[in-house]
Amino acid sequence: MRALVIDDSRAIRLILGQILKALKFEVIEAGHGLEALERLKESGPLDLALVDWNMPEMNGFEFVCEVRKDDQYKDMKLMMVTTETEMAQVIKALEAGANEYVMKPFTKDMIVEKLTLMGLELD
């Protein structure tokens, strides 16, 4: 399985990348939404994207909206991983097409639980 980790924090990309690699994912990274769209064009549809909300260039919400407009990505699971804790933001992200929502700080167990809820086969 292949995953895209989108966060403007290199540290968060590293942490999420390590969690996913331990679960046998091939990991691609992007620092913001526009870079993530470029990575998607290069790689083709992926199984999963973990998306931060607050980023420069294109934020995570805008990224989710863009991806959900394109039918070739309809099966890609999208999980927001963000400091945005207001229920209105959670609802907005889910309505835009995010499959799950995790609030920072997170644990490996929280990520694994959400991946399982989204129906991804984990080793």
Element (H, E) at 67: helix 60-69
pTM, 2 dp: 0.96
Cis peptide bond prior to 56, omega within 30° of 0 = no
Beta bridge partners of 80: 51, 101
| N residues, the chain | 123
Across the range 12-18, mean pLDDT stands at 98
Q: Kindly write down the DSSP assignment for every residue of 52-63, as one continuous string.
A: -SS-SSS-HHHH
The tens digit of pLDDT for each residue in 85-115 reads 999 999 999 999 999 999 999 999 999 999 9
The pLDDT of residue 122 is: 87
Map out the domains of the chain with their CATH numbers. 2-116 (3.40.50.2300)
